[in-house]
Amino acid sequence: MWGHMHAGRMPEGYPQFFARAEGGHVWDADGTRYVDLMCAWGPILLGHRDPAVERAAARQAALGDAMNGPAPVMVELAERLVERIAHADWAIFAKNGSDATTACVTIARAATGRRAILVAEGSYHGALPWCTPVREGVTAEDRAHQHRFRYNDLASLEAAADAAGGDLAGVILTAFRHDNVVDQEMPDPTFLRGVRALCDRRGAALILDDVRAGFRLHPGGSWEGFGVRPDLAAFSKALGNGHAIAAITGSDPLREAAARVFVTGSFWCAAVPMAAALATLEELGRRDVPGHLAALGERLRAGLAERARGFNVGLRQSGPPAMPLFLFEGDEDVRLGRAFCAAALKAGAYLHPRHNMFLCAAHTEADIEAVLRAAEPGFQAVARLQAEGG
Ligand code: PMP
């Protein structure tokens, strides 16, 4: 089993295999149902097997999927993204988030003729050798021409840009700070404006990695509310509501470089995920999905905070409510978090102890109440461990 999908890395009792999924729920291979707050680690935005998306996918599947080139639906999808995403003048498509972030870096280098990329410490941009968090099998050369800075710290960004000097090709930044096992942070608007100004001053491309957050906070991309536009953006996860697709969007000055680089894959033209993505965007236009996720997220956050107080347990909740993360005070090794999640799982809620979670449009207030009920044995387990420890 690969990467973070290894149930051995999850708390006790977590299932490795899932038999089916519907709306806001998943069933493991033994038939146990859970309220699903991981949503396939982000791809499920409207709900598992959303009827409108699955109808569109089935219609396209009846015509063809992998063919010798894309189906016309690709043009419609690109047009829709360019309409929706303020910075976008063009779009190209791939499969995974790593494809999209890597293509953005390649395009930035091709456009500038320079090599250096500034990457925030602890940010995840995918699992290819240039960005995987685990260095096994990775060479120093794979990681060459990268300089680190701290998210939301303009002085450290300036220092990294100085280190890159005249070789600076681009800056890559996640939509907000959503690193593993640290409190999430929204981008400081002054920092974002500073990043934009630095890129403009130094002729570098600003790359938004919206793979994880894209379409959950705003239908036009996660920085829409900040008034800062990237030059390139990487999307995947939620775009196809579970169908494998990624998108790279770019502004006109990067178009020519995007046409020059050679990026492709055997399945990148597949038409079914494109039809699914188009239907997902249509649904996003019809209903206020980010509003629904935020409202449910607030409810979950308030309910967890109230219960944590009741059990006298220190709980930190951070980031946008639509993508909740909770960490326990003094729990650096996540022992408390794991015990909490193991107990909540037994009570029917699939949560994560150190990675942000994901709400979807199919979740209801009743699902949130079910999660809060499942959290009670979790808080009991944490209170018990704390009493034993003290
Ligand atoms: N960027 C971010 C911010 C991500 O969260 C992820 C996936 N967790 C990726 C890139 C890589 O996406 P994928 O796993 O689809 O390659």
Question: What is the value of ipTM here, to two decimals?
Answer: 0.99
CATH number at residue 359: 3.90.1150.10
Q: Are residues 36 and 62 in the same domain?
A: no
| Exposure on the CB side of residue 273, measured as CA atoms within 13 A | 23
Instruction: Give yes or no for residue 171 CB within 6 A of ligand 1.
Output: no
Instruction: Give yes or no for residue 174 CB within 6 A of ligand 1.
Output: yes
Asked which of 286, 302, 330 is the last residue of a domain, the reply is 286
Asked which of 264, 286, 308 is the last residue of a domain, the reply is 286
Q: Are residues 180 and 95 in the same domain?
A: yes
For a mutational test of ligand 1's pocket, the pick from 39, 123, 124, 216, i.e. the residue with the most ligand atoms closer than 8 A to its C-beta, is 124
Per the CB < 8 A criterion, the answer to whether 289 and 265 are in contact is: no
Q: Are residues 67 and 139 in the same domain?
A: yes
Instruction: Give yes or no for residue 98 CB within 6 A of ligand 1.
Output: yes
Structural domain for 81, as ranges? 51-286
Instruction: Give yes or no for residue 94 CB within 6 A of ligand 1.
Output: no
pLDDT value of residue 3: 84
The proportion of the chain whose per-residue pLDDT surpasses 70, expressed as a percent, equals 100
Residue 112 scores a pLDDT above 80: yes
Instruction: Give yes or no for residue 97 CB within 6 A of ligand 1.
Output: yes
Q: Are residues 246 and 145 in the same domain?
A: yes
State pTM to two decimals.
Answer: 0.98
Higher pLDDT: 156 or 7? It is 156
For the chain, what's the residue count? Answer: 390
Q: Are residues 209 and 346 in the same domain?
A: no
162-193: pLDDT as tens digits: 999 999 999 999 999 999 999 999 999 999 99
Angle between the N-to-C axes of helices 73-84 and 271-286, in degrees from 0 to 180, rounded to the nearest 10: 40
50-78: pLDDT as tens digits: 999 999 999 999 999 999 999 999 999 99
CA of 306 to the centre of ligand 1 (A): 33
Asked which of 222, 255, 286 is the last residue of a domain, the reply is 286
| Alpha carbons 35 and 143: distance in angstroms, whole number | 39
The number of domains in the chain is 2
Q: Averaged over 106-114, what is the pLDDT?
A: 98
Q: Are residues 72 and 167 in the same domain?
A: yes
7-43: pLDDT as tens digits: 888 999 999 999 999 999 999 999 999 999 999 999 9
Q: Are residues 177 and 38 in the same domain?
A: no
Q: Are residues 122 and 97 in the same domain?
A: yes
Which atom of ligand 1 is nearest to 101's Cα? 10
Per the CB < 8 A criterion, the answer to whether 265 and 70 are in contact is: no
Predicted confidence band of residue 389 (pLDDT cuts 50, 70, 90): confident
Q: Are residues 267 and 296 in the same domain?
A: no
Q: Are residues 113 and 212 in the same domain?
A: yes
Q: Are residues 106 and 146 in the same domain?
A: yes
| Closest among 107, 46, 5, 60 to 275, alpha carbons compared | 60
Q: Averaged over 300-305, what is the pLDDT?
A: 98
CA of 243 to the centre of ligand 1 (A): 15
Instruction: Give yes or no for residue 101 CB within 6 A of ligand 1.
Output: yes
Instruction: Give yes or no for residue 102 CB within 6 A of ligand 1.
Output: no
Residue 390 scores a pLDDT above 60: no
The proportion of the chain whose per-residue pLDDT surpasses 90, expressed as a percent, equals 97
Write the residue with the smallest CA distance to atom 10 of ligand 1.
Answer: 125
Instruction: Give yes or no for residue 317 CB within 6 A of ligand 1.
Output: no
Q: Are residues 273 and 135 in the same domain?
A: yes
CATH number at residue 174: 3.40.640.10
| Alpha carbons 290 and 140: distance in angstroms, whole number | 41
